[in-house]
Amino acid sequence: MDASAVAKQFVDFYYQTFDSNRQNLLPLYRPTSYLSFEGTQHAGANDIVEKLVSLPFQSVAHRVSTNDAQPTPSGEIVINVTGQLLIDGESNPQFFTQTFVLKNDGTNFYVQNDIFRLVYA
């Protein structure tokens, strides 16, 4: 398994989906998944996607600056992304970092762990 290739494909798909229709992220999480979003904790696909859908903006665009991935001994993939967020058409980006742990259910990778933080510079 090439962790970097999986990470590239996953991250592209994740943000395309996030930026077009956040509700469609639901199949990427499972009942065992965790999200930490700016310090708040959410568990399970339904709670996680409810949180993401409730974020108070109409439109968002993620621009990925870096995407680093490594395998773990248990066959998971850990990813750290840095990038910029453009919210509601504003021209001043916000900077963010996001950590994912992807796990394979036998057929597909899903998001086991997800930690999101804005970076205030």
Rule CB under 8 A: say whether 90 interacts with a copy of itself. no
**Interface with a copy of itself by CB under 8 A: which range of 8-16, 20-28, 55-63, 95-103?**
95-103
Q: How far apart are CB 91 and a copy of itself at their closest, in Å? A: 15
Amino acid found at 100: F
Of residues 24 and 32, the one with the C-beta less far from a copy of itself: 32
Of residues 21 and 75, the one with the C-beta less far from a copy of itself: 75
Cα separation, 102 vs 75, in Å, equals 9
Q: Give the up-direction half-sphere exposure of residue 51: CA atoms within 13 A in the CB hemisphere.
A: 18
Tell me the three state secondary structure of residue 57: coil
Rule CB under 8 A: say whether 106 interacts with a copy of itself. no
Rule CB under 8 A: say whether 99 interacts with a copy of itself. yes
Among 16, 24, 70, 108, binds a copy of itself (CB under 8 A): 70
Cα separation, 110 vs 102, in Å, equals 5
What's the gap between Cα 119 and its chain centre? 15
Amino acid found at 11: V
Tell me the three state secondary structure of residue 13: helix
Which residues of this chain interact with a copy of itself, rule CB under 8 A? 32, 34, 36, 39, 65-66, 68, 70-74, 76, 78, 80, 82, 95, 97-99, 101, 103, 112-113, 115, 117, 119-121
